[in-house]
Amino acid sequence: MGRTIKLTDAQWDELDRVRMGTGSADVFRNCTIILMSAVGRSKASISNDLGCCTDTVARVRRLYRAGGVKALRPIKPPGRPGRATPAFIAQMKRAVQTNPLTLGYGFSTWSAARLAQHLAKVTGIRFSDDQLRRLLHEEGFSIHRPKHTLKGKRDEQAYEKAKKGLIRLKKKR
């Protein structure tokens, strides 16, 4: 195993295609490390230009030698696994497409808070309203904050009569 990396034209093109087609900063950096290594740059020079440590350059070179371009992609996404399990997502989709009245609630539209409370009761997993909106958006749904009015629930004739009476009262001294 030599210290430098030799690339064929096809390997160079593949690395460059992956580098320019990725949305991952890590994959872009890893491909750049290999391309810079192929032109004879030292670990210190590469790490200085890319703002990473020499251990990272050595690790990426080792990965590439062992597995090629596929080895330059991260194995798993960083961070803690999400709490929104596939079962939770399925239950969320079912609930948001169901009228709350049929589930025994006294309202006819879901708000994020109401849906979060319902899902916490059904699944045991609690999300904030904002997080639930984000999950719904990822699945192609949106919940808008409902505008509560009495239109259609009040006696419109009595309302208009009271409105006119209020105007008269305001004009009096």
pLDDT given for residue 146 in this prediction: 65
pLDDT given for residue 76 in this prediction: 73
Cα–Cα distances in Å, from 159 out to 15, 37, 168, 170?
Answer: 72, 79, 14, 16
Residue 165 has which token pair?
């009476």
Q: Model confidence over 66-86: pLDDT tens digits?
A: 999 998 988 776 788 888 999
Give average pLDDT by consecutive 10-residue segment, the chain, 173 residues: 77 93 91 94 93 93 92 80 91 94 90 93 94 92 73 81 88 74
pLDDT given for residue 97 in this prediction: 93
pLDDT given for residue 49 in this prediction: 94
pLDDT given for residue 156 in this prediction: 83
Give domain limits for the chain.
Answer: 9-72, 86-138
